[in-house]
Amino acid sequence: MSSEKSFYRSGELAELAGISTDTLRHYERKGVLAHPLRKANAYRQYSASALQRVRLIRRALAVGFTLDELAAVFNVRDHGGAPCAEVRKLAAAKLSEVETRLRETVDLRDELRAVLKDWDKRLAQRAPGQRAHLLESLNAGNNGKPGNRRRVSQIQLTKRKREKKSNES
């Protein structure tokens, strides 16, 4: 298949873009891809520019934009507007989210290192066949008393809340 055609059927476009025809229809429903013309046989007929649009959508999704965000940006752009400042603002927010996740991931890594070090000590000090209560130790601080050890699940909970919030937008 040549990518220099003036029109593509949905299967051709999907194959060239590396997605499914269901994804094309989803993009149409979300408003990021124009509804195609219909031939007399009811086949969808996409313009050649649709391939570039789909590739742009895929790349934008890969860097963190949502379909809803892209729909809003494309709507402004397709009507002659220049949403550049909004696109930049969205990208800056995504970078901030990534930096936050990176900090949380580093914190999680550091905590897991400390947990493993503690568990190694517990395992070395236990008698053969005796339980070391490794999981139970997660509820205790470094001194064995409840308190100051940050719970690993706290990072996961924060992450889930953030993902839920971004999926709602």
Over residues 105-136, the pLDDT tens digits come to: 999 999 999 999 999 999 999 998 999 999 99
Alpha helices in 2-141 (DSSP H): 10-17, 21-30, 49-62, 67-78, 84-125
User: Are residues 58 and 119 located together in one domain of the fold?
Assistant: no
Could you say which of 46, 78, 110 is where a domain stops?
78
Q: Which residue has the tokens 């190694």?
A: 120
| Whether residue 63 sits in one domain with residue 107 | no
Q: What is the pLDDT of residue 96?
A: 96
pLDDT tens sequence across 47-88: 989 999 999 999 999 999 999 999 999 999 999 999 999 999
Task: Give a yes or no: residue 2 inside a domain.
Answer: no
Same domain, 65 and 128: no
Q: Is 145 inside a domain boundary?
A: yes
Q: What is the Cα–Cα distance from 71 to 57, expressed in whole angstroms?
A: 10
Select from 78, 102, 135 the last residue of a domain. Answer: 78
43, 78, 113 — which closes off a domain? 78
| CB neighbourhood size of 103 (10 A) | 11
Residue 13: pLDDT above 50?
Answer: yes
Distances in Å between the alpha carbon of 139 and those of 54, 113, 121, 132? 48, 16, 17, 14
Same-domain status, 101 and 158: yes
Residue 1 lies in a domain: no
Q: Which range marks the domain in which residue 30 is found?
A: 7-78
Half-sphere exposure of 12 (CA within 13 A, CB side): 17
On the question of pLDDT at 146 being above 50, the answer is no
Residues 108 and 159 occupy one common structural domain: yes
Is 89 within the bounds of a domain?
Answer: no
Cβ neighbours of residue 90 closer than 8 Å, sequence gap 6 or more: 65, 69, 73
Residue 85 counted as domain residue: no
Token match 């969205």: residue? 90
139 and 101 assigned to the same domain: yes
CB atoms within 10 A of CB 31: 16
Percent of the chain with pLDDT over 90: 69
Same domain, 99 and 162: yes
Sign of the Cα torsion 147, 151, 155, 161 reads negative
Q: Is residue 130 part of a domain?
A: yes
In a domain? residue 116 = yes
Type of residue found at 84: C
Q: Is residue 105 located within the same domain as residue 70?
A: no
- What is the predicted pLDDT for the residue at 55? 97
Half-sphere exposure at residue 26, Cβ-oriented, CA atoms within 13 angstroms = 12
The count of structural domains within the chain is 2
Same domain, 67 and 99: no
Q: Are 132 and 99 contained in the same domain?
A: yes
- Look at 11-15, 34-38, 79-83, 157-161 and tell me which has the smallest mean pLDDT: 157-161
